[in-house]
Amino acid sequence: MNRDSRIYVAGGDTLIGRALHDRLHAAGYGRVVGEPPHEPDLTDGRQVEDFFDEARPEYVFLVGGMSGGIEMNRARPAELMRDNLLGAAHVIHAAHEYEVRKLVYLASSCSYPKFAPQPMAVDSLMTGPLEPTNAAYAMAKLAGWQLCAAYRQQYGARFATAIPANSFGPGDDFSPEGGHVIPGLIRRAHEAKRRGEPELTVWGTGTPRREFLYATDVADACLFVMRHYDAAEPINLGGGTDLSVAELARAVAVTVGYTGRLRFDSSRPDGMPLKALDASRLRGLGWRPAADFRAALAETYAWFLHHVVTEDAEHGRSPVSIAVPDSPRRGRSRPRLPDGQDQESGASVDRTGGGVSRRL
């Protein structure tokens, strides 16, 4: 892949898709095709085929697909599974038909068995039952990996699968239904601070542990894999910060400036007890994450204040009642936190049920 290659990020309006576009442009790749709002609906096979026929991408990052927090996974499993299955099937087939030089498919750490040995290694995939709260989504992601492997086996296609740790960052989904653990907890901690509430409830016991990777690091790892990894076996994109949900909640509270009490509701589901990735293969190839977790968390909250809260106020909505991330705004410096904001922390809280589960 060189600076003149035609590159397509399928799912450019996702958190990782935005981060990939930013990193590609920053690195001088000048022929990125299909950027939102000009990319096809991945669930529409005709649109995808027409796009590939016209744009003729040479390299594809497949990072799209509907995703959500624990509540969405419980309420809309059929939509989540269907959306991801269709998107993977259409893009992977079109990449083969139009002779894409290489494709990197982003799966999910949810696809590991619920009780996989930790840290999770790729040889644990499909060796046990999935976490029930996100089984439909996880199964779709497993199917995407297997489809890549099948095209590689039958046609010799250079289709590789990568599995990232839980990602977060500016441009994330902060909505009540779609937000994952970090954006959901940022939103709720901010609401509680604004309302002066003395207590915030976090779903579950607080004991499950998760590994978190900043979106820019995930994007950099995807670029690294595109350049340096080519095998049927998936590769884990890990090496980020490992925190319990309780530690995460306290860190988010400090970042947001919420000083009330955190209460953990053990009647709510915990999800997988531990979810960290064995990234030894990626490290062996020479990649390491660059972001500091506390600084990344502060940047994420600053983006939330500047985009979500500000835009809700401008449109006359109750602050953070709904929040759909906007398109990436290239060339703008990231907003700074208000004077006095503590940037030396990183975790999260939950009041209405976004929960502690996540797609990645």
Active site members: 137
Q: Residue 129, Cα to own-chain centre: how many angstroms? A: 23
Cα 325–Cα 20–Cα 113 angle in degrees, nearest 5: 85
Based on the number of CB atoms within 10 Å of its own CB, is 315 exposed (0-12), middle (13-18) or buried (19 or more)?
exposed
Q: Is 16 helix (H, G, I), strand (E, B) or coil?
A: helix
Q: Which of 23, 317, 53 is nearest to 169 (CA)?
A: 23
Distances in Å between the Cα of 38 and the Cα atoms of 15, 34, 47, 105, 317 are: 17, 5, 11, 20, 29
Distances in Å between the Cα of 96 and the Cα atoms of 142, 147, 219, 220 are: 19, 11, 23, 25
Check residue 334 and report its DSSP letter: P
Residue pair 144/93 in contact (Cβ under 8 Å)? The answer is: no
Based on the number of CB atoms within 10 Å of its own CB, is 284 exposed (0-12), middle (13-18) or buried (19 or more)?
exposed
